[in-house]
Structure 1
Amino acid sequence: MAKAYNFTPNLIKIQLILIIVLFLCFTVSKSAPQNSLVTQLPGFSGTFPSKHYSGYVTIDESHRKKLYYYFVESERNPSQDPVVLWLNGGPGCSSLDGFVYEHGPFNFEAAKTKEGLPKLHLNSYSWSKVSNIIYLDSPSGVGYSYSHNTTDYDTGDIKTASDTHTFLLKWFEVYKEFATNPFFIAGESYAGIYVPTLASEIVKGLDTGVKPVINLKGYLVGNGVTDDKFDGNALIPFAHGMGLISDELYQEIVAQCAGNYYDVTSDGCDLLLSKVNQNDEVATAWLNDKAVRKALHADDENVAGPWELCTGRIAYNHDAGSMIKYHKNLTARGYRALIYSGDHDMCVPYTGSEAWTKSVGYKVVDEWRPWMCNDQVAGFTQGYEKNLTFLTIKGSGHTVPEYKPREALYFYSRFLSGQSV
């Protein structure tokens, strides 16, 4: 009788080895770096509502040029929810401004003593309720970001867009599990330049086959700098209409400046404009505390420098010109755009943003109308073809999520999901 062989134990061993190998491969490719995990923050005693990560991405090895990020996973469904990159403006202002004062996972209560640290409470209107969000200090020299070669602090629009694109490519190589999530860029103020220039840089990369592929879907710009003439010439009529300057001063300015409040050629006009132009301790104290910097994986102050809300150590060149051509190109390619403005902002008045969105020349598909939040009129909106939307927020100043957090989360959620307000 032929000898019988029992292969079962060997097969079981092989299967177990395969399972272990597959598990290890899955773990390596699908796990955010554990050494970047933020486990506690001074001033907060509760449980984080989602995972937080922070640290540096080196975008130039020869210069040891590093960009700092703080990444908050979505509190809802991080594996499916969009990934949003948030950028504050300036140029030269840290995006941790948005984290501390606007739509981050915490609200900050000022310390009761000068030496104390603020207390942190969970923010009911955090944008991490519906999205993963990366707060990025950009360009290098801003916030916690720095370079060992200070020539990198002489930069501009084009270089900043290129560097931020490099950051994203490297970031998605590390956080591979988020590479297929829908990706959006959002920002406010001078990020009205950062956002469309970065989006255009990403699109160029997609066109030329750059890896990893970034799943760009659209972008949001809040009270954004866009075009010098539209933005600059909106200021005086807006200030007059809001009752911020007298009718007499307004009439004098109109007569002296002939409707040109941006490219001033008259000394008399310049003198009158100067009459029109006649916070931050919480963030500065907290983000410069040694224990906080350690918890946030930020390099020591003697290496990276002190954290400042808006720095003066960079020399910045606005070399990209008007953003209108960028918006036209991006929306023509099918990327969704929401241009939103607080209607009480004198820094970048909503009237300028309303005017330039009209100037693009797209057909109106959603006539000017009020939009509602919590059964109240929250502002007005107008929708154009090619998924370009303009929206105002009633009673809000320059930083919309700070002034109107509930309304901001509402329109943000609707936009990310592809719905109108």
Structure 2
Amino acid sequence: MAKFFFFFFFFTSLCMLLTLFVTEAAPKTSLVKTLPGFKGSFPSKHYSGYITLGGEKPADQGKNLFYYFVESERKPATDPVVLWLNGGPGCSSFDGFVYEHGPFNFKEGKPKGSLPILYLNPYSWSKVSNIIYLDSPTGVGFSYSKDPRNYVTGDLKTAYDTHNFLLKWFEQFPEFLSNPFYITGESFAGIYVPTLASQVVQGIKDGAKRIINFKGYMVGNGVTDRIFDGNALVPFAHGMGLISDDIYKEVVAACEGIYYQPQSVMCDDKLEQVHQAIEGLNIYNILEPCYHNPTYNQNDKLQNSTLPSSFQQLGKTQKPLPVRKRIYGRAWPFQAQVRDGLVPLWPQLAASTRIAVPCVNDEVATRWLNDKAVRNAIHAVPESVSGRWTLCTNRISYYHDAGSMIPYHLNLTLQGYRALIYSGDHDMCVPFTGTQAWTKSLGYKILDEWRPWFSNGIDVAGFLQGYEKNFTFITVKGSGHTVPEYKPQEALHFYSRWLAGLSI
């Protein structure tokens, strides 16, 4: 009996020690202890730093990908681990961190002589999940390489590198390896998410050293398919009352339903009428005003402009708004600019046309993230090494080489991985009309017929259509391109319930 108690005590003690080791496995050097501009205690642990990628080929080496990891405020040991990716291509995931669903919000106003003030975000997605914000691909945000060849990338290379990042990240944070894992993102991350998910699934099949507990993915207002997305604007503009019945009938007749690539001069002329009708609107949310750069002179002549006419009339008469009124980024409306697969970046387009990026004011985030004290606190290398942080970079060359994402969605969902596709229904950049069309085109049986969903039990928050294969499409009423920014309470609601496997 004495031997039994001895071995029982020894085994119990060993388990306790192993548990203690696992829960403290995260690298202490990556722990974020304070953040300039925020007073108080963090509601959970934060970590940040770099994962350096290596590989057999020289081109795969020397890529330093920056991440910021927020542990769940609820049960980090068992709550899902979620990877968040912003789009662009070329835009930092700190967009999601500071303006959408991160643990902090900026206080309005610009305090003179001091940093912006932060306060806790009551609708942070870290309320219910562990979340990794990743600057990807290399060259975006704080991510960098000393070899400029590493700034040439594309859909497939980005997915490959991000998968390697995840394997190395879980190597440093092994205590989270058994947690359910999800991949999420918005806008051009409609490309990043399914391509990365496919890499992760292939890694599981190939018996990767660390098997990620991948369960599914989520995409918001995501770029998906040049035909569906390219044909979405005209029916969206008509349905929203932005163009008349006469203009709509004429453009339908002239283009025969093909708007993404005009087949005739007549179609092109009628599409120009559509663009003229929607001039001056905030493309990222037609309900919101548009921030106009006060330094831009609307009388400047635009020579050989390559931007749609709706962006050629931005003037300096409107004063800057006190808070940001939407994203700095590039998405499918500029697909016609793609040449030989190379995707133009917003800063490049802005420089070539002398037009400021429309409807954007990210001065506060840029000021905060380039402060030396902030960079030091989050373990980002000095500006002299990685360059100045910008929300969207112009130093990468990005090739769209994966084609349509529809085959990716089919392949993943047929293998049993859960998918939630959501759309802010007032986004004109990647309109919900295109997303609704391609989700229906998968041909899955409808299990939950089109219906309203509610975030507070009273008010309609949007609409939902549920399909077989755990595939769901929802709209978010009154929201623009970045749903968690415009509708944070509603976003946290559907995010929480979907992660938990509950009906939205």
- Decide which structure has the larger Cα Rg and report it: 1
Deviates more, 1:346-355 or 1:254-263: 254-263
Q: Spell out the pairing of 1:10-409 with structure 2 (5 A cutoff).
A: 23=17, 27=21, 30-60=24-54, 63-113=61-111, 115-270=113-268, 272-273=271-272, 274-275=275-276, 276=278, 277=308, 278=310, 279-374=361-456, 375-409=458-492
Amino acid across the alignment from 1:410: H
Q: Using the alignment, how far apart are the partners of 2:379 and 2:116 within structure 1?
A: 19
Q: In structure 2, the residue corresponding to 1:386 is in which secondary structure?
A: coil
In the TM superposition, what is the alpha-carbon distance from 1:43 to its structure 2 partner? 0.6
Aligned-residue offset at 1:256: 3.8
CA distance in 1, matches of 2:112, 2:366: 12
Any stretches of 5+ residues in structure 2 without a counterpart?
Answer: 1-5, 279-307, 311-360
CA gap of 1:47–1:29, structure 2 versus 1, over 3 A, is closer
Q: What SS class does the counterpart of residue 52 from structure 2 fall into?
A: strand
Post-superposition offset of 1:211: 1.6
Aligned to 1:410: 493
Cα distance in 2 between the residues matched to 1:406 and 1:178: 27
Q: Secondary structure of 2:231's partner?
A: helix
Deviations 1:18-67 (A, max 9, x none): 96998489527842111100000011001100000000000137542110
Deviates further, 284-293 or 113-122:
113-122
8 A Cα contact 1:56 1:69, kept in partner: yes
CA distance in 2 between partners of 1:80 and 1:292 (Å): 30
Name the % identity: 68
Q: What's the secondary structure of 1:294's corresponding residue?
A: helix
Q: Deviations 1:334-388 (Å, cap 9, x if unpaired)?
A: 1000000011010100111111111000000111101111121101000000000
Distance in 2, Cα, partners of 1:407 & 1:399: 12
Q: 1:233, 1:261 within 8 Å by CA — same for their partners in 2?
A: yes
Matched pairs, number: 411
Which TM-score applies when normalising by structure 1? Answer: 0.92
Greater shift in the superposed pair: 243-252 or 145-154 = 243-252
Quote the RMSD (CA, aligned, Å): 2.4
Which whole-Å CA distance do the structure 2 matches of 1:267 and 1:256 have between them?
9
Deviations 1:192-223 (A, max 9, x none): 11000000000000001012010000110000
Deviation at 1:258, TM superposition (A): 3.0
| AA partner of residue 383 (structure 1) | G
SS, match of residue 469 in structure 2: helix
Secondary structure at the counterpart of residue 306 of structure 1? coil
Give the partner amino acid of 1:240.
H
* Partner SS for 1:322: coil
Gaps of 5+ in 1: 1-11
Deviation digits for residues 265-304 of structure 1 (CA, Å, limit 9, x no counterpart)? 4345445445344121111111111111111111111100
The AA in structure 1 aligned to 2:442 is V
Displacement, 1:239? 1.4
Contact in 1 for aligned 2:187/2:220 (Cα 8 Å): yes
In the superposition, the TM-score normalised over structure 2's length comes to: 0.77
Distance 1:35 1:238, change over 3 A: same
Whole-angstrom CA distance in 1 between matches of 2:219 and 2:249 = 33
Maintained 8 Å contact 1:184/1:217 = yes
Query: Displacement of 1:161 after TM fit?
Result: 0.3
Conserved? CA contact 2:86–2:189, under 8 Å: yes
- Partner SS, residue 217 of structure 1: strand
